[in-house]
Amino acid sequence: MFSNRSLKKLILPLIMEQILAMTVGMADTMMISSAGEASISGVALVDMVNYLVITVLSALATGGAVIVSQYLGNREREKANHAAGQLMTVTALISGGVMLLCLLFCKPLLKLLFGSVEPAVMEAAVTYFWISAISFPFLGLYNSSAALFRSMEKTQTTMYVSLLMNVINVAGNAIGVFLFHAGVAGVALPTLISRAVAAVVMTCLSRSEKNTVFIRAGQVFSWNPGMIRRILRIAVPNSIENGLFSLGKVLVTSIVALFGTAQIAANGVANSIDMVAIVVVNAVNLAIVTVVGHCVGAGEFEQASRYMKKLMGVSYLATGILNLAVAAALPFLLNFYALSEEARRLSFLLVLLHNLLAFALHPTSFVLANGLRAAGDAKFTMYVGIGSMLVFRLGSAVLFGVVLNLGILGVWIAMGMDWLGRSVAFLLRYRSGKWKNFRAI
């Protein structure tokens, strides 16, 4: 169903999207580091909370993409269109609700999670979080629209819109930080503006009847319980899994907050640089939903299995190459961050540790999970994700980081144990063939 040429056409624009997103993340961290370690620490803490929201919204978009992809694989275009409209309805309601909750409970939430940080760090975190929260509805609509275009294999469109969004973001960051010296607000406001522009553009493009799947206003402003249940049957387990996984990261970050500003800063810098090693894996994570979804919708489970193996191989090869490149360039990259000597040393160690673990475990932990999810086996991935997060990501972080006094290194070792637990469970599930018994439509 997918030739090598069509896979390249699908995946390469997604890789460019991930590179753009990663570059902007690194640029944000670099620019805000010029305002001092309190500012970079505040942004790093809030980014963990934002990541929780982003993963829930992305999981919702993935649920819609699975349903649309399976309808397209089964050649049911009209039902695919209806699913697209209902996806936008659910996205608008949920993302708007999340925004209101974050605005109302901004300070109490941050004090609950990171109450032990220095006052300057907390002040920066509150400013950054409040502005970021306003962008959540725009981000939700953008993610869902982009997921529809990926389901249609039109990833070039999402790449160009992502380019526009990131150009606005980087230019705005430079103006806000260096021209107006606005600190964290100078980074947060351009993010809000760029997401709003991207959401408007993608939503307008999604309404074009030239697309295989398009959005009709009448289907957005309607309520089809059956279609919404199909979307949520994939989206809810995915949201719970990814949301709790992200919540685990937030709770782990609250543990990191106990280790002092230098270790918080190193955690933030390492989190921005280590994205380089997994940029292709993140693109394949998106592509595999379309590929497996189309195959399963058409009843071609053997093809779905072959494509899972193939895309996993691509992920391992790319991660190995990128790991070597990052290791060679790391001393140079760290020069772009205004860090103390201790924070620089820790950042170096954390990036190397992450990349070693990513090469061994990231494709099996995440790419394979998305393949199973695209087949409709969403509850299993949810149970595994929750169990692994509680036992390894959170429990081991407390054990190694606090009890054994390994600090931030112990926390990142716990991350590797989480990936190992997930990898073993998903490999066993794949080999059992039980994932072939599910269908989302």
Quickly count: other Cβ atoms within 10 Å of residue 295's Cβ.
Answer: 26
Distance between CA 197 and CA 192 in Å, rounded?
A: 9
Distance between CA 202 and CA 229 in Å, rounded?
A: 25
**Residue among 407, 300, 310 nearest 350 (CA):** 407
What are the domain boundaries of the chain? 4-437
Taking 70 as the pLDDT cut, the residues of the chain under it are 25-26, 29
* Pair of tokens at residue 390: 């509680």
pLDDT of residue 29: 67
pLDDT of residue 407: 87
Q: Taking a C-beta distance cutoff of 8 angstroms, is the pair 10, 155 a contact? A: yes
> Exposed (0-12), middle (13-18) or buried (19+): which is 228, by Cβ within 10 Å?
middle
136-151 and 37-73 helices, crossing angle to 10°: 40
Distance between CA 123 and CA 100 in Å, rounded?
A: 20
pLDDT of residue 158: 94
Q: Taking a C-beta distance cutoff of 8 angstroms, is the pair 306, 371 a contact? A: no
pLDDT of residue 26: 66
pLDDT of residue 277: 87
Q: Taking a C-beta distance cutoff of 8 angstroms, is the pair 208, 41 a contact? A: no
Distance between CA 215 and CA 205 in Å, rounded?
A: 9
pLDDT of residue 235: 87
pLDDT of residue 97: 96
